[in-house]
Amino acid sequence: MAAPGEPELIRTQLDEIHERFRTYGTEEVVSYYPPEAEADGALFGVAGTNVRGMQWQAGDCSVPFPLHSVSKVFTYGLALEDNGAAATLRRVGVEPSGDPFNSITFDEVHHRPYNPMINAGALVAADLVAGRDVDEKVDRILERYRSYAGNPDLAVDQRILRQQLRSNDRNLGLCYIMRSLGMITGDIEEVVETYLSACSITVTAADLSVMGATLANGGTNPLTGHRAVPREHVRDIVSVMMTCGMYDAAGQWATDVGIPAKSGVSGDIVCVLPRYFGFGVYSPGLDVHGNSVRGVALCRELSATFGLHVFADPEDARFGRPSVPLSPRDATTGTG
């Protein structure tokens, strides 16, 4: 059983790590979209929520940012829910591509995009979401995302959506190629608008940590008790995060950090430690893979400090016993 005060100890360590990484790697800033180029590179927040609803925050955790590719995780969940695992797998695979997020490559053998965490696969997942038209699809996506976050105010940022629709040739190109190959059946403008609307939903690092915690908690939001995704799909979602969530840096991430995660080009990362907690990181400034520079460094440090690497031997000196427990199994004193 955890000693009283341990949640405070976690907060202290989190603050200390956050402070240490505040100025890390800021010279490497890369941006892909006008709104991101405008984003304040000094913003830096990390929040963690465990499956009992306890939450920790450090830095800028109430600043809204667009989910971008982090949305792929949750839209994939809805595609699985709407179509079932087998029919979804026929349309989009679960194999890491080893290519960048916007790569124009496909699994030729199975005649589908490699996985739903890169743009090609996410566009197919958007096509798979049920709904009569874009509005209905986006409404259903929003409703689910709100449920993951326990935040009824989540919304599509229309300005960001318009900006994305204007600088979107590559996603359109991907869709046209996929339609010519029979991988997409719907109207291309609708598919792209559905996908980019999901990318333009804004959250905070605190929201994102709850969304991650919902997956860690088997699909039920630990704050509200509401189910966001059927339990049977959670394993598939989190597995594909582990193998494909960090694009062509997924292998390095699995080795260094060892937590299922997904990044987006706004500089956000969601991490899911099944049965324990989720965390959300926001820090603009990307590396060549499109992953947040400070976010990746911070997660590596959190993993080491708190012993979170899912494949690490607990006796391994680098990933030793957590100095303080972050898991509900150990920490029984939190009040949430």
By CB under 6 A, name the binding residues for ligand GLN: 68-69, 101-102, 119, 164, 171, 199, 264-265, 290
Shortest gap between Cβ of 279 and ligand GLN (angstroms)?
A: 18
Distance CA 212, CA 307 (A): 18
Query: Would you say 199 or 216 has its CB closer to ligand GLN?
Result: 199
| Among the listed residues 135, 137, 97, 132, the one whose alpha carbon sits nearest the alpha carbon of residue 113 | 97
- Tell me 227's DSSP state: B
Q: Which residue's CB atom is positioned nearest to ligand GLN? A: 69
Distance CA 263, CA 297 (A): 13
Shortest gap between Cβ of 115 and ligand GLN (angstroms)?
A: 13
Query: Would you say 68 or 140 has its CB closer to ligand GLN?
Result: 68
First-to-final CA distance of the chain: 16
> Residue 5: left (phi > 0), alpha (psi -120 to 50), or beta?
left
CB 247 within 8 A of CB 261: no
Cβ atoms within 10 Å of 132's Cβ, excluding its own: 7
Shortest gap between Cβ of 124 and ligand GLN (angstroms)?
A: 13
Shortest gap between Cβ of 41 and ligand GLN (angstroms)?
A: 17
Shortest gap between Cβ of 69 and ligand GLN (angstroms)?
A: 3
Query: Would you say 30 or 89 has its CB closer to ligand GLN?
Result: 30
Query: Would you say 265 or 296 has its CB closer to ligand GLN?
Result: 265
Distance CA 70, CA 199 (A): 8
CB 240 within 8 A of CB 250: no
Q: What does DSSP say about strands 65-66 and 201-203: parallel, antiparallel, or unpaired?
A: antiparallel
Shortest gap between Cβ of 67 and ligand GLN (angstroms)?
A: 8
Query: Would you say 197 or 224 has its CB closer to ligand GLN?
Result: 197
Query: Would you say 145 or 276 has its CB closer to ligand GLN?
Result: 145
